[in-house]
């Protein structure tokens, strides 16, 4: 069997595991759908601008983020429960295992967030649904980047397994709150110091949320620079995550444990 086939087979197995985790599906679906259909709607009544229109597209990106982050949990489980030893015995290279995990993480996040997008399209009229098809490949790369962040956290917590969820929560809260997912950049600019404004603007979640709002739902023409920015923001974190996980796998192969 060729390496590519093995990678795809491993990715398929990990992808299926994500959707089979019942409690995770219950958490993600209730969280994201209630954000979309309850929080966005009620906050809209507290504010003088259309928060529902602003927040619903961002919930799709939040779903993408949450689902991609679950890659780290699966890697953490594999490390903790010794499944990784089984993976290492498979006729597949170490970079192959890493690529399989990132592919599965990116794909699971894409499929999950697409289901949220379908709900969003029912709740909120979109001006240019076709723009979504242009955005999809970039969102996939973003999802792989986010999965990369999660893989780095799993690698970082590999010797103190129980800390993984603490790291994950901290990163999740920081990336979401310091972004334009919940509030427009104009509000952030009046409150944050310049360094944090730059971080919020360059945050891949901000870029994706803005792209979703402006291109899919507002129907503005797609700007290639924005797509390039998503790529530039996502690629480094994908590579860092892949290298961190590869480093952990090499250590386990060399020493038998971490």
Partner 1 sequence: MRNVLRLIWFDLKQELKPPVWILVEWFIFTVQLFIYGALISRLVTAPEISNYQQFYAVGFIVMITFDIGTHTGRHFVEDAHEGRLPYLLSLPISRIKLFLSIALQGGFELALMLTVPLAITLFLLGNLAVLSVAAAIITLFGLGFGVAGLMLGLSFIAFKSSDMYTAIVTGLSTIIIRFSTVFYPLIFLPQGYASIASISPLTYGADLVRFLLGFDPSILLNPAYAVAVLAALAVSTLGLGMVLLQRLVEGVKSA
Spatial CA neighbour of 149 closest among 84, 63, 235: 235
Residue 51 sits in the site that holds partner 1 (CB under 8 A)? yes
* Residues contacting residue 19 through CB under 8 Å, at least 6 positions apart: 25, 108, 111
Q: Tokens 């390039």 map to which residue?
A: 228
Among 46, 195, 225, 254, indicate the residue that binds partner 1 (CB under 8 A): 46
Q: How many CA atoms lie within 13 A of 246 on its CB side?
A: 15
Give pairs for 165-174: CB < 8 Å, separation 24+.
165/73, 168/69, 168/72, 168/73, 172/65, 172/66, 172/69
Among 162, 221, 224, 255, indicate the residue that binds partner 1 (CB under 8 A): 162
Q: Which helix (H) or strand (E) holds 244?
A: helix 224-255
Closer to partner 1 by CB, 111 or 178: give it: 178
Distance CA 139, CA 144 (A): 9
Residue 177 sits in the site that holds partner 1 (CB under 8 A)? yes
Closer to partner 1 by CB, 30 or 93: give it: 30
What x/- string results for residues 221 through 250 when contact with partner 1 is judged by CB under 8 A?
------------------------------
Among 5, 13, 30, 239, indicate the residue that binds partner 1 (CB under 8 A): 30
Among 3, 9, 19, 27, indicate the residue that binds partner 1 (CB under 8 A): 27
Size of the site for partner 1 (CB under 8 A): 36
Residue 133 sits in the site that holds partner 1 (CB under 8 A)? no
| Least spacing, CB of residue 73 vs partner 1, in Å | 14
Q: Which helix (H) or strand (E) holds 165?
A: helix 164-177
Q: Tokens 């529902």 map to which residue?
A: 52
| Residues of this chain that bind partner 1 (CB under 8 A) | 22-23, 25-27, 29-31, 34-35, 38-39, 41-43, 45-49, 51, 162-163, 166, 169-170, 173-174, 177-178, 182-183, 187-188, 190-191
């Amino acid at each position: 069997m060729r390496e590519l086939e093995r990678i795809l087979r491993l990715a398929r197995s990990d992808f299926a595991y994500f959707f089979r985790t019942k409690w995770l599906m219950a958490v993600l679906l209730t969280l994201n759908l209630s954000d979309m259909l309850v929080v966005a709607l009620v906050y809209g009544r507290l504010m003088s601008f259309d928060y529902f229109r602003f927040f619903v597209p961002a919930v799709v990106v939040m779903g993408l983020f949450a689902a991609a982050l679950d890659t780290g949990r699966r890697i953490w489980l594999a490390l903790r429960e010794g499944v990784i030893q089984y993976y290492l015995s498979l006729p597949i290279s170490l970079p192959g295992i890493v690529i399989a995990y990132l592919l599965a993480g990116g794909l699971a996040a894409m499929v999950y967030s697409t289901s949220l997008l379908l709900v969003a399209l029912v709740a909120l009229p979109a001006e240019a649904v076709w723009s979504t098809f242009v955005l999809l490949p970039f969102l996939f790369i973003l999802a792989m980047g986010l999965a990369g962040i999660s893989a780095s956290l799993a690698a970082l917590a590999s010797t103190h397994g129980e800390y993984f969820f603490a790291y994950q929560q901290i990163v999740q809260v920081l990336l979401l709150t310091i972004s334009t997912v919940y509030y427009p950049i104009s509000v952030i600019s009046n409150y944050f110091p310049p360094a944090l404004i730059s971080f919020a603007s360059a945050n891949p979640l901000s870029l994706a949320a803005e792209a979703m709002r402006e291109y899919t739902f507002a129907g503005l023409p797609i700007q290639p620079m924005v797509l390039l920015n998503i790529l530039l923001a996502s690629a480094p974190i994908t590579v860092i995550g892949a290298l961190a996980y590869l480093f952990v796998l090499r250590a386990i192969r060399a020493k038998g444990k971490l």
